[in-house]
Chain A
Amino acid sequence: MALDVETIRKDFPILDRVVHGDKPLVYLDNAATSQKPRKVIEALVEYYERHNANVHRGIHTLAEEATALYESARDRVAAFISAPSRDEVIFTKNSSEAMNLVARVLADAEPPHRIGPGDEIVITEMEHHSNIVPWHQLAERTGAAVRWFQVTDDGRLDLSTVDEVITERTRIVSMVHVSNLLGTINPVETVIRRAREVGALVLLDCSQSAPHLPLDVRALGADFIAFTGHKMLGPTGIGVLWGRLDLLRVLPPFLGGGEMIELVTMERSTFAQPPHKYEAGTPPIAEAVGLGAAVDYLSGIGMEAIAAHETELTRYVLSELNQVDGLRIIGPNTAEDRVAEVSFTLDGIHPHDVGQVLDELGIAVRVGHHCARPAVVRYGIPATTRASFYLYNTPAEIDVLVRGLARVKKVFGG
């Protein structure tokens, strides 16, 4: 079923904006953050205007309403990813915090989950810095080593080495489900199968898949997944760590504070059960409510339909960009196992300059290394220009982009 994009666009007030005088905004920076539908904005306003209170700690009306709203956001998110239990959904600040949480608690865990000297952590060359740096820090603290899968020239993971990279020493494999630089959808089944053989845990960075693809954590088969609200129509300041309940029960807590305890005496503390065990202090309540509204909106339209629309956009943008002289796609050049995020370079023109001229035409793209510097270096380039699409983008906007690139070439050509 095709999306009614014109109707969808009316739900996003910001899409009516003009920039630089009279240029209609063409927002193609969705991989950095998405725009917000009126439903989400209204949920935030409504929360603050009518229900604001702290959660889990009052018996007055507003406290109960706020708690119910916050916990109902957890139910919606759990349903959105088909989590077996709502208690597996932990609210964090963003994906980065979710992944740091896992890296932190594994250093403090009891065997067999504890990561220590001689253990190995496996990542990939296409990770966002958020899924590299916490592991470097963990390795530094514990004496463990970080290993990684390489990427191929056409932007796929090189899994030919899967048996050598993931070994008996591997304690966790932490990898991106969909690359924010390349747009690649990774074949996580192959990696998970191997991880299971050696008894390693698996964390998937779903920051770029949760917004664009139907996700079912039971089918994915990982132990943890992380994603971030602001890329999927929700507010900033809210992210999600989903983890298998049996693991969340035995792993130690992350931050200590209010809400995450069972009992505190002056000598010691005991901890609450998941998810509260991992949510110290007053959580981002309004933000969680906003994320609940965002997943309602996405589910209302249907993730299958959104993914199908975006695949059409991927096909069209790839075919159009491939006709631009001097343009090199960084990432898979077909729409197969790929999302609508396209990184490219233009011969002899630096991405900064590409982005600047496009901005002048009202087109918002991202330029730089996209927090994935190792992968950018792997392709022998300093940076890329990235156009990333979402449910409200249209083929006509791709035409505007292509015309914009012609203008870029005119400014810098010859």
Chain B
Amino acid sequence: MNLDSMYQEIILDHYKNPHHRGLREPFDAEVHHVNPTCGDEITVRVYLDGAADEAKVVDVSYDGQGCSISQASTSVLTDLVIGRTVREAFGTMDAFVTLMQGRGQVEPDEDVLEDGVAFAGVAKYPARVKCALLGWMAFKDAVARVVGGV
């Protein structure tokens, strides 16, 4: 069944056992994003150390209500960005966004995206791309609030 390409085991694992979930202190910025078409909501907090691009992402915590795709992709996001610099995290984000907007035509790089490659199948479902990007866009917004437009 086609769906298997969307609901990869990795995605279901992150959904059932999300990483870094829950809102934590301390944090520098908190944002709340919604997907108005389906009502999914997410709150993301970031805690940075340092300035501008070279600031280090010390923590990303989150809470929200959403489908397996939005929840799992946020869980994967935290694995990929915590401990990295803002520059590195945004580089990874660009790769993930490119994958999601590639309509299934983009070959993901596992070295960059790690578990994020599991979302390649989601890119074939236009209605779900927004779900996969919900947490990422919230993260980008939260970081920008701390370091200014990067």
Contact = CB atoms under 8 A, between A and B. Distances in A.
A360 B68 contact: no
B106 interface: no
Given A356-B3, A356-B128, A383 B39 contact: yes
A356 B38 contact: no
Interface stretch (A100-108, A326-334, A367-375): A367-375
Interface string A348-361: 00111100110010
B2 A353 contact: no
Interface in B21-56: 37-41
B3 A382 contact: no
A353 B68 contact: yes
B39 A369 contact: yes
**Interface residue range, chain A:** 10 to 19
A410 B135 CA distance: 26
B38 A367 contact: yes
Contacts of A353: 7, 67-69
Contact of A352 (B2, B3, B40, B41): B40
B120 interface: no
Nearest to A384: B39
B60 interface: no
Contacts of A368: 37-39
B66 A350 contact: yes
A367 B127 CA distance: 12
A376 interface: yes
Contacts of B128: 352, 356
Interface in A175-207: none
Contacts of A352: 38, 40, 66-69, 128, 131
Interface in B86-125: 125
A411 B67 CA distance: 13
A48 interface: no
Contacts of A350: 40, 65-68, 71
Q: Which of the listed residues A356, A357, A369, A373 has the most CB atoms from chain B within 10 Å of its own CB? A: A356
Interface string B58-79: 0000000111110100000000
A412 B2 contact: no
A400 to B, nearest CB: 16
Contact of B39 (A360, A376, A412): A376
Nearest to B64: A382
B41 A360 contact: no
A383 B71 CA distance: 15
B12 A382 contact: no
B2 A383 contact: no
Contact of A382 (B2, B65, B69): B65
A366 to B, nearest CB: 10
A368 B125 CA distance: 17
Nearest to A352: B67
A376 B38 CA distance: 11
Contacts of B68: 350, 352-353, 412
A412 to B, nearest CB: 7
B50 to A, nearest CB: 36
Interface in B1-26: 1-3, 6-7, 12, 15
A383 B38 contact: yes
A382 B125 contact: no
A20 interface: yes
Contacts of A382: 39-41, 65-66
B12 A360 contact: no
Contacts of B40: 350, 352, 382-383
Contact of A20 (B2, B65, B67): B2
B49 to A, nearest CB: 33
23 contacts: A20-B2, A350-B65, A350-B66, A350-B68, A350-B71, A351-B38, A351-B67, A352-B66, A352-B69, A352-B128, A352-B131, A353-B67, A353-B69, A356-B3, A356-B6, A356-B125, A360-B1, A369-B38, A369-B39, A383-B38, A411-B3, A411-B12, A412-B68
Interface of A: 20, 350-353, 356-357, 360, 367-369, 373, 376, 382-383, 411-412
Interface of B: 1-3, 6-7, 12, 15, 37-41, 65-69, 71, 125, 128, 131
